[in-house]
Structure 1
Amino acid sequence: MKTNLGTIDRALRIIVGLLLLALTGNGTIGLWGWVGLVPLITGLAAVCPAYTIFGLSTCSSKTA
């Protein structure tokens, strides 16, 4: 799959994903915190399936 996440988008997804998983792990929030796996995985893979479906991309286009 083609990368469609820019650097800032990826970083924010990874941070939010890790934060949700950490809060779930220490019991601050309930089991719904496991949804943090979604932004974590998409951030690490640099591909968002929803962006692909809607034709979006936060990658900077390089024109030479």
Structure 2
Amino acid sequence: MKENVGTLDKIIRIPLGIIMIVAGIYLSSFWGLLGIIPLISGVSGFCPLYSVFDISTAKVR
């Protein structure tokens, strides 16, 4: 898996994922599980949807 998520994306995705999970727990809703998606893609640096559309926000090395 080639990294395709840039630094700014990571800075946005990780807190957003955490907020979604906490809100789901607080509201007792299973929809909070959707927060796992941005959290994992932010931590791993890979977004499968970006690769489908050939998008990359990561810097070229």
Same topology, TM > 0.5: yes
Distance 1:42 1:6 in 2: 11
How far is 1:54 from its partner?
0.8
1:60 matched residue in structure 2: 59
Matched, 1:12 2:15: no
Matches within 5 A, 1:1-64: 1-27=1-27, 30-62=29-61
Q: Structure 2: which 5+ residue stretches go unaligned?
A: none
TM normalised by structure 1 equals 0.85
How far is 1:25 from its partner?
1.7
Deviates more, 1:29-38 or 1:3-12: 29-38
The residue type paired with residue 16 of structure 1 is: L
| Displaced runs of 4 or more, over 3 A | none
The residue type paired with residue 44 of structure 1 is: V
Larger radius of gyration: 1
Deviations 1:14-57 (A, max 9, x none): 11100001111222x62111100000001100000011111100
State percent identity of aligned pairs: 36
TM normalised by structure 2 equals 0.89
Q: RMSD across aligned C-alpha pairs, in angstroms?
A: 1.3
The residue type paired with residue 41 of structure 2 is: T
